[in-house]
Chain A
Amino acid sequence: MNKKKVCGNPKIWKDPPGAAMYCPGCQHPVIDRIISEVLEEMDIDGKAICVVGVGCHAFVQISWNLDVLSSAHGRALDSGTAIKRLNPDAIVFTVQGDGDCIGIGAGAFIGAMIRGEKITTIMFNNTNYGTTGGQLAPTTLLGQKTATTPHGRDAALEGYPVHTAELAATFKGTAYSARGSVHTPADYQRTKRYIKTAFQKQIDGVGFSFVEVLSACPPNWHLSPVKCLKRIGEDIVSEFPLGEFKNEDSTERLSKSK
């Protein structure tokens, strides 16, 4: 009988893949897989340099057969900026959590967008600080119980969830901004398209590109993996709508207001 391999690990995943470090039902490795597929399909993995921040997302550094810099918490875009400026031929991208990117790293994130760095950022949004035990994040939904909001997030005390992809779209230096999810196969494919487009913007040199991806965190949400997917599809998507918020094909916008 002829057997043909129709599915397997991405080639840039090391054996054994670091996905083993993630909790059951965590979607971070699913997003890592999308990034891997995109890098392979675009044939840019050989010249890619990834910068990760601090958080669960950063464990991917040991699964990838890519050059990876593990930066200080929140500073991936500062470090990535220097790499891209000094080595413009490299494909430079950051993988960051929501706390890393828009919490402690908000200054670096906004700085990179003001300058219009030719970098791609993939932000994993699981609405809490997963690594440290599920504390309040800037993305935590109103009413969501976390380790530091035991009675649920209260807008009067902790403010409102931040809409990072919409914020990114407001910067002139940003060429592309989208929010995807991986809670259904269709969303997996859409998110893959977003991430591919984001890398294409970097290759075309049209500006900063950003994709936020919603990611389940079963232990800290205190839900089963299947119930997590339901929560994403209902509660989280209604707070964080999916889709593209900006898609610029040229650098013309940058020279308009002199």
Chain B
Amino acid sequence: MAEKMFVQGNEAVGWGALYCGCDGFFGYPITPQNEVTQWFAHEFPKRGKVFLQSQSEVGSINMLFGGAAAGFRVMTSTSGPGWGLMQETISHLVAAELPCVIVLVQRGGPGAGSIRHAQMDYITATRGGGQGGYKNIVLAPGSVQEVHDLIQLGFHLADKYRNPLVILTDGILGQVSESVEVKTIDFGPLDKKPWALRGRERQEDGKSRIVNSAVGVLPLPPYPNYISWLKHIEEKYREMEGSELRYEIYQAEGADLILVAYGYTSRVSKEAVNMARAEGHKVGMIRPITLWPFPYSVIREKAMLGCKFLVVEDSLGLLIDDVKIGVEGRADVHLVGILDRHIPTDGGMIMPGRVFEEIKRLL
């Protein structure tokens, strides 16, 4: 059963979560994601689901730690400084192998930065921003429909790999309204979380469970020691890299210049590609949908054909590092970034015209 709606990107988070059986949302107010939290406050309790406003983002993420450990589908949403506060426990979630979804609606940084759109949390999202070095799958929607779809895929992959997962959007994608087909997407069966805490008498085997993120201190079966457990985590990352890579290629066949962008700047870039193609320039775009794992091989393939690269991201240059890793020194990599906004304020944006100008300069 599908329903057509005209909704904001931030509201599409809620509809996606509702239609894939999310049980609980725990959040704290922060701009520009407030519509997400408010959506859950309005829509979840009346459907018998849990919405709770925490005392801080540290509270929210640790509520996810508990809810996920108890076997429920739980999520939160945040931005900028709230994302910073959550890092410690995201690391604990990885270590305890607890699945959950964290929506990061990016705003300007560093510090309190600005309360409006930007794309400045790429590194902490894709590299594991907390202690210890770890990975989360990072999904980057490029439209409101994709916000709805990737939330559902996100819960599925989080459960499949027992790992937290990040949905990386931005203030523009959060605020923009588009037509969305709201429905449940079937990604196939999952296990019933036999590891979850339910109270001993509710366990099918009647045995008690421990969920712990300090595996090096108190080893838990089936891992006899710290290194054997780390090996398991590493194998899980390799499996994610091998199976979960997702990207979109647009007009890239025979291109001399490839744009690389995600989120709102991928929409801007697509427009710039159309402007360039209309004038006969051979320009295309690669849009990573998974920012981790990153489509290095696709970038490398194009670099070996002699393409130049232009990264379009609303920051001082973060995604560009991954593109440089991908080209392995074989191609020039350029940036249209936050300094290229159409006006020099927090409300400025990277516009298609500015990207098109840079395309013409590089060709």
Given known A-B contacts A78-B62, A87-B70, A90-B199, A70 and B55 have beta carbons under 8 A apart: no
Let me know if B72 is at the binding interface, CB within 8 A: yes
Residues of chain A with a CB closer than 8 A to B70's CB: 49, 82-83, 86-87, 90
A111 surroundings in chain B (CB, below 8 A)? 54-56, 59
A2-36 near B? 1/0 per residue, CB < 8 Å: 00000000000000000000000000000000000
Do B92 and A78 have beta carbons less than 8 Å apart? no
> B66: CB under 8 A from chain A?
yes
11 contacts between A and B (CB under 8 A): A45-B200, A46-B201, A59-B218, A62-B218, A67-B198, A72-B89, A79-B62, A82-B72, A85-B67, A91-B199, A111-B54
Given A61-B218, A70-B211: A107 touches B200 (CB 8 Å cut-off): no
- The answer to whether the Cβ of A108 comes within 8 Å of any Cβ in the partner chain is yes
3 nearest interchain CB pairs? A79-B66, A46-B201, A78-B62
> Which residues on B sit within 8 Å (CB–CB) of A183?
none
How far apart are A29's CB and chain B's nearest CB, in angstroms? 16
List 14 additional contacts besides A49-B70, A67-B209, A90-B198; criterion CB under 8 Å.
A46-B202, A47-B201, A64-B208, A69-B211, A75-B58, A78-B54, A78-B63, A81-B63, A82-B67, A85-B52, A85-B67, A86-B67, A111-B54, A115-B52
Contact partners of A49 in chain B: CB under 8 A: 70, 197-199
Bound CA–CA A62/B198 (angstroms) = 17
B212 within 8 A of A: yes
Bound together, the chains give a CA A111 to CA B74 distance in angstroms of 20
Assess A108 versus B62: contact at CB under 8 Å? Given A61-B218, A72-B89: yes
Contact A110–B55 (Cβ < 8 Å): yes
- Are A68 and B62 touching (Cβ within 8 A)? no
State the Cβ distance, A55 to closest chain B Cβ, in Å: 12
> Measured between alpha carbons, how far is A90 from B67 in the docked complex, in Å?
13
- Residue contact B199 to A71, C-beta cutoff 8 Å: no
Q: Which of B52, B56, B72, B199 contacts A48 (CB 8 A)?
A: B199
Residues of A within 8 A of B200 (CB): 45-48, 65-67
Per-residue contact bits, chain B 227-254, to A (CB 8 Å; 1 contact, 0 not): 0000000000000000000000000000
Give Cα distance in the complex from A61 to B208, angstroms.
11
Known: A45-B200, A72-B88, A90-B199. A83 touches B210 (CB 8 A): no
Interface presence of B65 (CB below 8 A): yes
Neighbour of A82 across the interface among B24, B55, B198, CB < 8 A: B24
Q: Is B64 an interface residue (CB 8 A)?
A: yes
CB <8 Å contact, B67 and A83: yes
Report chain B residues within 8 Å CB of A54.
214
Shortest Cβ distance from B59 into A: residue: A78
A174 CB, nearest partner CB in chain B, Å: 16
Task: For B210, list chain A residues within 8 Å (CB).
Answer: 61-62, 67-70
Contact among B72, B96, B202 for A47, CB-based, below 8 A = B202
Residues on B with C-beta less than 8 A from A47 are: 199-202
Q: Are A75 and B62 in contact (CB under 8 A)?
A: yes
Query: B69 within 8 Å of A by Cβ?
Result: yes
Return B329 CB to nearest CB of chain A, in Å.
41
- A51 on the B face (CB < 8 A): yes
> What is the CA–CA distance of A70 and B65 in the complex, to the nearest angstrom?
10
Contact A85 to B24, CB < 8 A, known contacts A66-B200, A67-B200: yes
**Max count, chain A CB within 10 A of own CB: residue among B66, B198, B208, B211:** B66
Given A67-B198, A85-B52, A87-B198, CB of A79 within 8 Å of CB of B65: yes
